[in-house]
Chain A
């Protein structure tokens, strides 16, 4: 599956990245090389092999459905680049 410049543009958009012209060319070269490395997997027949999502291979444990977090709203909002009246501020979304 050979990548084209257009594919890099699409992938970058999906990842919400903006690449300049030069960065896009560099990414095309390096990602093509990486996919070449990855494609070595295709040489092995894995028919019937159950995928392993997690090394411990056990289901996630459950906990009681109770509130454990304390209210840290003010403390966390202080980390925001822009906040007002208890809200995160972003550029206008709706005209």
Chain B
């Protein structure tokens, strides 16, 4: 088996396994070797589950031999380390959960395991998914495979770096304010954040429950469709899981785009958009025009308030969600507490990193009696205005497009001193989470050798259309096939 197979995405890998070109065990072994070679420099994985992976691969090979294989059987993947995995540490990149062995599988993990996929390990991330650079991890920062001096984006930075570096063909991720789309953009990947409620949150460590949504980081839209097919659908164990039928995502990938109406938010193309980013985005839009789409200016009047509203709502929900970490039932506990209050305070102060503590405090403040109306209620009102803007836009267009991020990947350490500067990185992505809509980022070009992402936003539960649009673009272009050069020959 040539190591060239590690360049293959899910669809090609699955085809090769079914044709008997090589076994899942051979493939898994090759990925484990590549992880061993490159992970020390990239820090993309927190935990590598080699033994378990080889056992799952052997079971997949048995299923393949019996002709019982599904479309994902034997294909390796990695999970972001906030999905609970039975018997395997689920750390959320926090000292607080460094010793936490989940007693059950998240629904996403269970479904992908049932589909025959092989888990290679758990990927690094910003602690409790709070961050846009993957620098807030108890296990240290992740480096961007395109240039190790740069961040991979966050919070799903480990998943993105792992897929980009060909340490796995695909990875799960989550997106609360841009945490799938921004790393996808920085690492040259296809990132899909489904509609809120599309994929079960059960077994995902909670950050901001009205915004958190699980999705995928892959090399192509076709791969995202294959994974989403297995992940999506109603789960009675998630109280906000949507009871909406799951279509066949592969069936509509080949629909032509003639007549597609693309909305361009004038606020995203206004003064302030980096010219270097604008050029590849405009070129990508021209590709869509050549495929028969038309471009229309739209207005998202309240988008500029999305970061303000988010930094009330998400911290408020986080302050409630993270109150469970008390040093009593599981996770970190401080040494020799002198009384109960000392136990709580020292456990939480020693167990949480600075950004987590900061957001807990902002949320605590916003929920205080006396400030509740000015902050929390006001933010929820803004949230409705933001959602209404999207609803109005979708009366005139079928999809909204623009840049995913204001810049290409930035240098490690360049924004850590000033949280607000870091927060502003999510200006194009956060409104989509507040509105609950599905979004994608797909590779649209390179600027000075670094990937640029195009964001696609769709109507509620219209992932099939987004995947179709992205797939058609990927048939017409080859940006999604570009890989970082200097990681050693495959």
| A contact residues vs B (CB 8 Å cutoff) | 1, 7-8, 11-12, 14-19, 23, 26-27, 30-31, 33-42, 44, 46, 49-56, 60-61, 63, 72, 75-76, 79-82, 88, 90-93
Contact = CB atoms under 8 A, between A and B. Distances in A.
B360 A15 contact: yes
Contact of B197 (A14, A19, A56): A56
B436 interface: yes
Contacts of A39: 308
Contacts, number: 166
A75 B385 CA distance: 46
B36 to A, nearest CB: 30
Given A30-B419, A55-B210, A17 B383 contact: no
B100 A33 contact: no
Chain B interface size, as a band, is 35 or more
27 contacts: A15-B357, A18-B345, A19-B357, A31-B362, A31-B365, A33-B419, A34-B311, A34-B419, A34-B420, A36-B420, A37-B307, A37-B308, A41-B312, A41-B382, A42-B378, A46-B378, A49-B385, A51-B381, A53-B380, A55-B196, A55-B197, A79-B331, A81-B332, A91-B338, A91-B342, A92-B339, A93-B339
B374 interface: yes
B362 A54 contact: no
A92 B340 CA distance: 7
Contacts of B381: 46, 49-52
Contacts of A93: 339-340
Contact of B374 (A17, A42, A91): A42
A17 B357 contact: yes
B236 interface: yes
Contacts of A16: 323, 326, 341, 344-345, 348
Q: Is the interface of B mostly helix, strand, loop or mixed?
A: helix
B434 to A, nearest CB: 7
Given A15-B348, A27-B358, A27-B361, 16 more contacts: A15-B357, A15-B364, A16-B348, A17-B348, A17-B357, A18-B348, A19-B349, A34-B311, A34-B419, A34-B423, A40-B305, A55-B196, A55-B387, A76-B103, A88-B329, A91-B337
Interface centre among A16, A72, A91 (most CB of B within 10 A): A16
Interface of B: 100-101, 103, 196-197, 210-211, 236, 239-240, 242-243, 302, 304-305, 307-309, 311-312, 319, 323, 326-333, 337-346, 348-349, 352, 354, 357-358, 360-362, 364-366, 368, 371, 374-375, 377-385, 387, 418-420, 423, 434-437
